Amino acid sequence: MSNPLSDLIAEKGVLLADGAMGTNLFAMGLMSGDAPELWNEDHPEKITRLHQDFVDAGADIILTNSFGGTRHRLKLHNAQDRVFDLNKKAAELARAVADNAGRKVIVAGSVGPTGELLVPLGALTFEAAVEAFKEQMEGLKAGGADVAWIETMSSPEEIRAAAEAAIAVGMPYTFTGSFDTAGKTMMGLSPKDIFGVVASEPEQPVALGANCGVGAPDILSSLLDMSEANPEATLIVKGNCGIPQFQGEKIVYSGTPELMADYVHLAIDAGATIIGGCCGTSCDHLKAMRMALDHHQKDGRPTLEKIVEKIGPLKNKSAGEGANQPRRERRGRRRA
């Protein structure tokens, strides 16, 4: 089925997604514990400026400021009755920037996890999760989002709930897991098993893959697992910009623009179709990533050893490593 994201992939081959929302909003004055989604109405000019900066840096895809836009997240800020309006506004702000870009830019409606555990581990039923995601996505669709961008997921059941919601409201969708726990998601999903999560759904995702996690080397390890398991898949990687470190009271990320450029080259050769940055990724990083994408020369599928050599050691073992874990940890220590 044709949709704007698939059409742009067909036109350009590999797309650049944007950088970090939260990290950059903190630099603009967002305080820890505040809900970024409230800024869609309280400080729309700042959200617009960030979207514009990402487009100016070369992003083909910009994510709406709606990651925590379900009622389950917004209730922590007494905003559970504003779900539709806040998500609609988030999409409208991004849509206005995309429409004025002078080139095709995709507006991806960011949909993060509810923050609740589904039955039987928690109290949230599957049906209630679907309804919560539908409520959010209806706002995103009304505001002009091209695609529901389901991200940073740990639970296969929650991915399915979000996928069913997207199908119900008539939106194409993507999804990504965060493989941050010994190479798997917190709920035990392996990169190679991601393809079976929504296999029974009547509409399949436009793309799927990994985001966030613990750094560029680790997300590329997950990408290798995914592209090996399904070489024909349209894969997303949106990795963190290095590792967070405290500098005084501030958290900064260790990744340089040069490291993120190398990450782009490796990601393309490892099979990614959509490449972006997650936590810590600034517009300066994104400019370097755009340059790398535009000037990429194929260099063959990278090995894990090459990834470690180019951009540093793994922080976790990979999902399929098992008894070989100490070998990779030793290699990382040698580099460090």
Task: Print the domain residue range for 195.
Answer: 4-335
Q: What is the pLDDT of residue 242?
A: 79
293-302 burial, b for 16+ CB within 10 Å, e for fewer?
Answer: beeeeeeeeb
| H helix or E strand, kind and range, residue 24 | helix 22-27
| H helix or E strand, kind and range, residue 244 | strand 244-247
d(CA 109, CA 62): 9
Count up the domains in the chain and report the number: 1
Measured on CA atoms in the order 163, 165, 167, 171, is the torsion positive or negative? negative
Q: What is the pLDDT of residue 1?
A: 62
Nearest of 296, 178, 188 to residue 237 by alpha carbon: 178
Nearest of 185, 188, 165 to residue 176 by alpha carbon: 185
d(CA 179, CA 227): 15
Cα 220–226–231 angle (5° rounding)? 115
Q: What is the pLDDT of residue 316?
A: 82
Phi, psi values for residue 335, rounded to 5°: -65, -40
Kindly report whether the peptide bond that precedes residue 205 is cis, defined as omega within 30 degrees of 0: no
Tell me the CATH number at 123: 3.20.20.330
Return per-residue pLDDT of the chain as tens, 336 residues.
689 999 999 999 999 999 999 999 999 999 989 999 999 999 999 999 999 999 999 999 999 999 999 999 999 999 999 999 999 999 999 999 999 999 999 999 999 999 999 999 999 999 999 999 999 999 999 999 999 999 999 999 999 999 999 999 999 999 999 999 999 999 999 999 999 999 999 999 999 999 999 999 999 999 999 999 999 999 999 999 977 776 666 677 878 999 999 999 999 999 999 999 999 999 999 999 999 999 999 999 999 999 999 999 998 866 555 433 322 222 222 222
Q: What is the pLDDT of residue 62?
A: 98
Residue with tokens 């470190």: 245
Q: 116 near 123, Cβ under 8 Å? A: yes
d(CA 52, CA 57): 8
Q: Would you tell me how many other CB atoms lie within 10 Å of the CB of residue 177?
A: 31
* Cα 253 from chain centre: 17
Q: 314 near 217, Cβ under 8 Å? A: yes
d(CA 136, CA 165): 9
- Contacts of residue 225, defined as CB under 8 A and 6 or more positions apart, other chains included, come to 183, 190, 191, 192, 318, 319, 320
- Fill in the amino acid letter for 316: N
Q: 66 near 83, Cβ under 8 Å? A: no
